[in-house]
């Protein structure tokens, strides 16, 4: 009898824990049409259930910048909020819509007066509010304001409305991303890195309850060089000749991370990386195999 009672108590406790958590799916840098395409397939029936889906969309328009139609396509697929990075302003049309787009943010440490916002509050089911912050690293990047100090100011503002805050640190250097994660540990729910397009395997819950991953990876071509066509990259890297980078052809992959966050405390209770490879039919597979043979040094 005691064993039965104990089992019931444990199962009830686990159920209560699940009810008190929200699940957030964060998708790494979306690269062009292949990235948008594979996200639609993933979210249509292969992704874990999530209360909030966020994607970094700074490369959604053929690898550089984003457009209003790109964002709408991803929204229709199920993405609810978008972050940016150093390519946010690559397409001039963004200046026409970034201030009107809901839940679309760019790095907060750009100078005062830059169009768009560096943070937002996303309201999900049951009126739960989630704060979202985007900052750009400075190591090997642009000489902007300190992402540490800017993030700190925004956390203070957002904390007045919610304890659940997620930070996208768009940065080149792993050390800078790790430093920000540790610096903000206990003050935000999660810190996730973007920009390098390669998913890291260091997901963990930091000592004070912040989930951390150095880089979420990218959603884009699986066989490109961080999403770009091999031939153009080889031309530049091997022959040291100028070349225009184009988004690679072939099957695409989703890379991202899921956070489970306590609704009351804002602390992370779990973190897990996700990967998904696009499912192609036989004809498409043959076509992509043939086209890959064209990626020679030119």
Please give the Cα distance from 145 to 86 (Å, whole number).
14
Please give the Cα distance from 96 to 115 (Å, whole number).
9
Beta-bridge mates of residue 275? 255
199: left (phi over 0), alpha (psi -120 to 50) or beta: beta
Q: What is the dihedral of CA 186, 111, 244, 63, to 10 degrees?
A: 50
With tokens 């972050």, the residue in question is 83
The number of C-alpha atoms within 13 Å of 287 and in the hemisphere containing its C-beta is 8
For residue 197, indicate whether it is catalytic.
no
Annotated active-site residue in 46, 87, 170, 197: 87
Residue 135 near residue 151, CB atoms below 8 Å: yes
- For the annotated catalytic residues, the residue numbers are 87
């Amino acid at each position: 009898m005691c064993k039965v009672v104990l089992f019931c108590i444990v199962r009830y406790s686990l159920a209560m824990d699940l009810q008190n958590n929200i699940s957030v799916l964060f998708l790494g840098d979306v690269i062009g049409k292949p990235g948008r395409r594979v996200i639609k397939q993933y979210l249509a029936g292969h992704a874990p259930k999530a209360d909030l889906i966020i994607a970094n969309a700074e490369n959604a328009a053929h690898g550089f910048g984003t457009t209003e139609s790109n964002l709408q396509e991803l929204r229709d697929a199920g993405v609810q909020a978008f972050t940016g990075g150093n390519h946010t302003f690559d397409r001039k049309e963004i200046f026409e819509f970034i201030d009107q787009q809901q839940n679309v943010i760019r790095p907060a440490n750009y100078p005062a007066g830059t169009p768009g916002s560096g943070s937002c509050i996303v309201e999900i089911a049951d009126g739960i509010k989630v704060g979202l912050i985007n900052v750009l690293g400075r190591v090997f990047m642009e000489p902007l304001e300190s992402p540490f100090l800017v993030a700190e100011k925004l956390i203070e503002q957002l904390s007045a409305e919610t304890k659940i805050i997620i930070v996208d640190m768009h940065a080149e250097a792993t050390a800078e991303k790790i430093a920000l994660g540790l610096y903000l540990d206990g003050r935000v729910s999660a810190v996730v890195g973007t920009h390098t397009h390669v998913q890291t395997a260091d997901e963990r819950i930091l000592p004070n309850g912040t989930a951390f991953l150095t880089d979420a990876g990218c959603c884009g071509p699986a066989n490109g060089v961080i999403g770009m066509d091999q031939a153009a990259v080889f031309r530049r890297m091997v022959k040291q000749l100028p070349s225009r980078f184009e988004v690679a052809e072939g099957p695409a992959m989703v890379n991202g991370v899921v956070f489970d966050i306590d609704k009351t405390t804002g602390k992370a209770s779990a973190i897990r990386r996700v990967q998904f490879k696009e499912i192609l039919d036989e004809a498409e597979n043959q076509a992509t195999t043939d086209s890959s043979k064209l990626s020679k040094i030119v």
